[in-house]
Amino acid sequence: MTIFEELQKAIIDGKAPLAKEITERGLKEGIKPHEFFPKAIVPAMDEVGRRMRECEFFIPEVLIAARAARAATDLLRPLLVGDESVKAAGTVVCGTVKGDLHDIGKNIVAMMLESAGFRIVDLGVDVPAEKIVDAVKQHNANFVALSALLTTTMVNMKGVIEAIAAAGLRDKVKVLVGGAPLTDAWAHSIGADGYGKDAPGAVELARKLVPAA
Amino acid sequence: MIPKERFLAALKRQPVDRVPLFDFLFQRPLFKEVIGRAPDAYNARDAMDLTVAMGLDSIWIPYSAPTAWKAEVISDRVYKDEWGTTFEKDEAAWPLDAPMAFPIRSREDLRHYTVPDPLADGRTNELHAAVVINQNLGDKAVAVMGSVKGPLTITWYLLGYEKICLTLYDDPEFLEELAEIAVDFALKMIPRIAATGVDAMIIANDYGASAQGLLKPAHFKTTYKPVLKKMVDGIKAQELPVFFHCCGCIRDYLDDLVEIGTDALHPLQRTAGMDLAAVKAKYGSRLCIIGNVDSSRTLPFGSPGQIEAETREALRIAAPGFGYILASDHSLHDGIPVKNILWMFDCARKYGTYSGQDLAA
């Protein structure tokens, strides 16, 4: 088993201390920090997403895998600062919309996106549209990911999209939406760029919508 | 049949004159429009008046915080409840506020933790009030249901769901200890609630997310099924039927829920993929089924024709052979227009009568 295969297995199995140890060993052996992402961390989390879709993994297994992936990325990120060859897949501003305090879905999507190489700016819960617009400007984001659990709050997603447009940023960001009461048709009707049915779906969608470099 | 008899017969899958009606009355505009007043807090008097005015057959009345207990106010919108969980007031989800922070992060925290007293004065005030009102309703009397929270719900409030997920792998015995706290609390409270004269008991415990369960079936079996069985047995010891409320996609746990002796299952959330026909076919001879009318799409946004069609479809699938109670697939929460709620129940009364029509047609 190569060191990348070992790391993949540790992440899929949710073994954070082991993932850290393997990453440290790999670095000592001279593997470049940026190599771990495409060769181990991203494919491992893709496999976790696949297993979730197949109902082999449930949310706890996804969370322990994400924690193991983070044990590796926490070691690697400081080593990548200033490395121009490494770019985040995109910057995602995420949050639950105004009035909605339910963040479990949003947190899982954020973790999966982060493991897939996206930079996450998590604004938390009950986020007003103007705060999202400000964060897009400040972090030069190219994605906004909005979550809502309630039928009464999901309608606030439309207001966020309108605020983004009013700030002249609509062409700059792709808006992804998700949450239990949403449908693809509804997401389309409010002018979102995509609807993530679940966390792996959100990652798939974000990858598809990443603007060409 | 009077509403109470109709509801209790349906829970036992016995013959009834029409399909009974139930729901969680979780929006203040419904109170305002139907009975002319919207309560700040969910309470027996207003909920009983609304239940009777809407012609429903049953009502849920929760136990109360102790009379002597006062919430620790953190800000206008944020407070700590008696379990030490920090909640933010959530108008959109009334009367259930949203948990934001949790009192236990470790075994060390648990060592210093004091569990609330299930037998403190005042716990059953609202239940008593509902039962007394009900006794004076004569042939309009409804089935009054008390409730206890299940082990995952209590653990969720103590630890938070994300921490539960990690602890399932880091220290599963710790979760079993927390589940025992929940079951001890419930087992002390069940006889007290039963003594008020309620007609049935709800175990409220969500195990479902929107596309799958919240945890692997194996984790459910080892960590939660045994304590749920103790709760079911505690309720049955009081000779009350067990109404299990469990939102989300819970198909992986149905065999276990039936095996532990659940009498009725609510709400078969349609948008989480709960298939009414499949559940009726497999479990209809052992379980009363409650719910399944879509409360997140059809009821808030559907046309009268769509609401009628979906209500009729639920009746067509689940009412034949008895053992079905019509309700939404979650609750009558904020954002569902009142006219749509009333229309769903009108349709249920029209199409849910057993005499003179073939419900399966």
pLDDT at B358: 72
Q: What angle do CA B250, B253, B256 make, to 5 degrees?
A: 150
> Is A14 inside a domain boundary?
yes
| Cβ neighbours around A196 below 10 Å, total | 26
Tokens of B128: 């008593």
pLDDT at A87: 75
Residue A32 gets the label, from left (phi > 0), alpha (psi -120 to 50) or beta, of: beta
| Chain position carrying tokens 């984790």 | B219
Q: Is B361 exposed, middle or buried (0-12, 13-18, 19+ CB in 10 A)?
A: exposed
pLDDT in tens, A175-206: 999 998 899 999 999 999 999 988 899 999 99
Q: Is the same domain home to A53 and A146? A: no
Q: What is the pLDDT along chain B (361 residues), one digit of tens a residue?
A: 999 999 999 999 999 999 999 999 999 999 999 999 999 999 999 999 999 999 999 999 999 999 999 999 999 999 999 999 999 988 888 999 999 999 999 999 999 999 999 999 999 999 999 999 999 999 999 999 999 999 999 999 999 999 999 999 999 999 999 999 999 999 999 999 999 999 999 999 999 998 899 999 999 999 999 999 999 999 999 999 999 999 999 999 999 999 999 999 999 999 999 999 999 999 999 999 999 999 999 999 999 999 999 999 999 999 999 999 999 999 999 999 999 999 999 999 999 999 866 777 7
ipTM: 0.93
Q: Is the same domain home to A121 and A194? A: yes
Give the structural domain span for A176: 91-209
Shortest CB distance from A59 goes to which of B209, B295, B334? B209
> Is A33 inside a domain boundary?
yes
The whole-number average pLDDT for the span A81-97 is 84
Shortest CB distance from B214 goes to which of A58, A100, A126? A58
Q: Is the same domain home to A117 and A186? A: yes
| Statement: residue A213 has pLDDT above 60 | no
Q: Is the same domain home to A24 and A129? A: no
The whole model's pTM is what? Answer: 0.93
Contact A121, A145 (CB under 8 A): no
pLDDT at B75: 93
Contact B61, B148 (CB under 8 A): no
Cα–Cα distance measured from residue B65 to residue B123, given in angstroms and rounded to the nearest whole number: 6
Cα–Cα distance measured from residue B193 to residue B63, given in angstroms and rounded to the nearest whole number: 8
Which chain B residues contact residue A103 at CB under 8 A? none
Domain of residue A148, CATH code: 3.40.50.280
Torsion angles phi and psi, residue A90, rounded to 5: 170, 165
Q: How far is residue B232 CA from its own chain's centroid?
A: 15
Mutate to test the interface with B, among A15, A57, A58, A97 (most CBs of B within 10 A): A58
Q: Is the same domain home to A127 and A41? A: no
Last residue of a domain, one of A45, A80, A115: A80
| Chain A residue closest in CA terms to B89 | A101
Q: Is the same domain home to A123 and A33? A: no
- Residues of chain A whose beta carbon is less than 8 angstroms from a beta carbon of chain B are 14, 52, 55, 58-61, 63-64, 67, 99-102, 104-105, 107, 126, 150-153, 180-181, 183, 197-198
Domain of residue A22, CATH code: 1.10.1240.10
Last residue of a domain, one of A38, A59, A80: A80
Q: How far is A180 from chain B (nearest CA, A)?
A: 6
| Nearest in space to B194 (alpha carbons), one of B240, B151, B226 | B240
Q: Is the same domain home to A156 and A64? A: no
pLDDT at B178: 97
| Interchain CB distance below 8 Å, A58 and B212 | yes
Q: Is the same domain home to A100 and A65? A: no
Q: What angle do CA A165, A169, A174 make, to 5 degrees?
A: 90
Q: What percent of chain A has pLDDT over 90?
A: 83
Q: What are the structural domains of chain B? A: 3-67+107-351 (3.20.20.210)
Name the 3-class secondary structure at B341: helix
Tell me the residue ranges of DSSP E strands in chain B.
Answer: 58-60, 72-73, 78-80, 86-88, 98-101, 143-149, 200-204, 242-245, 264-266, 288-290, 324-325
Q: How far is B198 from chain A (nearest CA, A)?
A: 31
Q: Is the same domain home to A158 and A69? A: no
Which chain B residues contact residue A178 at CB under 8 A? none
Contact A93, A136 (CB under 8 A): yes
> Is A86 inside a domain boundary?
no
| Interchain CB distance below 8 Å, B297 and A99 | no
Which chain B residues contact residue A107 at CB under 8 A? 162
Answer whether B267 touches A (CB < 8 Å).
no
> Is A85 inside a domain boundary?
no
| Interchain CB distance below 8 Å, B271 and A180 | yes
Last residue of a domain, one of A46, A80, A114: A80
pLDDT at B230: 98
| Interchain CB distance below 8 Å, B211 and A14 | no
Element (H, E) at A59: helix A59-80
Q: Is the same domain home to A35 and A67? A: yes
Cα–Cα distance measured from residue B84 to residue B343, given in angstroms and rounded to the nearest whole number: 41
Mutate to test the interface with A, among B97, B166, B175, B247 (most CBs of A within 10 A): B166
Strand order across the beta sheet in which B143-149 lies: B58-60, B143-149, B200-204, B242-245, B264-266, B288-290, B324-325
Contact B9, B44 (CB under 8 A): no
Answer whether B306 touches A (CB < 8 Å).
no
* Encoded amino acid at A189, one letter: S
The whole-number average pLDDT for the span A117-138 is 96
| Nearest in space to B185 (alpha carbons), one of B245, B232, B117, B126 | B117
Total structural domains within chain A? 2
Q: Is the same domain home to A104 and A190? A: yes
Contact A123, A93 (CB under 8 A): yes
Longest dimension (CA), chain B: 64
Cα–Cα distance measured from residue B214 to residue B253, given in angstroms and rounded to the nearest whole number: 11
Shortest CB distance from B296 goes to which of A63, A151, A198? A151
Q: Is the same domain home to A129 and A28? A: no
pLDDT at A81: 79
* Encoded amino acid at A118, one letter: F
Q: Work out the end-to-end distance of chain B between its first and last CA atoms, rounded to an integer number of angstroms.
A: 24
pLDDT at A212: 62
The whole-number average pLDDT for the span A11-27 is 98
Which chain A residues contact residue B216 at CB under 8 A? 58, 60-61
| Statement: residue A85 has pLDDT above 70 | no
pLDDT at A84: 67
Which chain A residues contact residue B30 at CB under 8 A? none
